[in-house]
Amino acid sequence: MSQTPMGSPKRGVGSEAAPSPQVSSRTDSPSRDELELVSALRRRDERAFSTLVDRHHSSLLHLAKLYVRTHAVAEEVVQETWLGVLQGIGSFEGRSSLKTWVFRILMNRARTRAQREGRTIPFSVAFDPQQEGPFAAVDPERFLGPNGEYPDHWALPPREWGRSPEELLLSGETRGRILKAIEALPPSQREVITLRDIDQWTSDEVCNVLGITETNQRVLLHRARSSVRRALEDYLGSPQRKG
């Protein structure tokens, strides 16, 4: 069969049979660790609450900020969410993971608050890639034209960065540039890349919480990653045309 190309994808995702992109997960149920947290929370165990807060507060906050005007209001929405968690944990049925359940409470609170603030962001529009303009992962100038011996191939191929992720992370300036590139993304792309690549949520988790299709999620992730890669390449030194 084919030889393994240079730099095959990690986690073996490229080598498994591709699942249908539209199938939603049936595996969103509480982990054992989450079930223990649920029991402890029902007993009003403060450490369990503390653990859950440490785990999810940051993500809850950046998600809330998509819907409300200010950081302070986002903090309020998150606080109301935690209260909602305490009030509702008794009736949590385990039909979804605890995480999904908590974040759904947040989404409800955030949308209610957005409505009260008079913001009308129809939820379906907020994460719809079709609402965004045309997109190219790479500047078209980097490719050859459609005619000639190597149509649509690299004119200025990229070079490997020669720096490991660890080395990239060591530089505060590099980290800052990456974060800045993420900040500059449209909100729905910013949210998806943050949840998937920084918070390391699974695709299913993102789709379940945001209520979007896997396809939409993938398109947003694609655009976000492409834009950030581009910004990082510009910063680290992109290939220049000779002459």
Out of 6, 118, 133, 172, the residue judged to bind other proteins by CB under 8 A: 6
The H or E element spanning position 217 is helix 214-236
- Work out whether 172 is an interface residue with other proteins (CB under 8 A): no
Out of 50, 115, 124, 131, the residue judged to bind other proteins by CB under 8 A: 50
CA atoms of 233 and 158, how far apart (whole Å):
9
Q: Position of tokens 């029991």?
A: 39
- Work out whether 57 is an interface residue with other proteins (CB under 8 A): yes
The 62-101 contact track toward other proteins, x by CB under 8 A, reads x---------xx-xx--x--xx--x---------------
Residue (95 or 109) nearer to other proteins, CB:
109
Which stretch in 2-10, 103-111, 183-191, 205-213 sits in contact with other proteins by CB under 8 A? Answer: 2-10
What burial letters (b/e) apply to 194-232, b meaning 16+ CB within 10 Å? bbbeeeebebbbbbbbbebebebbbbbbbbbbebbebbb
Instruction: Give me Rg for the CA atoms of the chain.
Output: 21
Q: Which residues pair with 143 in a beta bridge?
A: 154
Out of 51, 108, 203, 213, the residue judged to bind other proteins by CB under 8 A: 203
Which residues between 182 and 201 bind other proteins (CB under 8 A)? 193, 197-200
CA atoms of 191 and 6, how far apart (whole Å):
31
The H or E element spanning position 120 is none
Smallest gap, in angstroms, from Cβ of residue 165 to other proteins? 4
- Work out whether 237 is an interface residue with other proteins (CB under 8 A): no
Smallest gap, in angstroms, from Cβ of residue 141 to other proteins? 11
CA atoms of 12 and 1, how far apart (whole Å):
16
2 — alpha (psi -120 to 50), left (phi > 0) or beta? beta
Site size with other proteins, rule: CB under 8 A: 72
Smallest gap, in angstroms, from Cβ of residue 209 to other proteins? 16
Q: Which two tokens stand for residue 40?
A: 């402890």
Out of 71, 95, 119, 175, the residue judged to bind other proteins by CB under 8 A: 175
CA atoms of 142 and 234, how far apart (whole Å):
13
The 119-138 contact track toward other proteins, x by CB under 8 A, reads -----------------xxx
- Work out whether 23 is an interface residue with other proteins (CB under 8 A): no
CA atoms of 50 and 44, how far apart (whole Å):
11
Which residues between 135 and 164 bind other proteins (CB under 8 A)? 136-138, 140, 143, 151-154, 157-161, 163-164
- Work out whether 225 is an interface residue with other proteins (CB under 8 A): yes
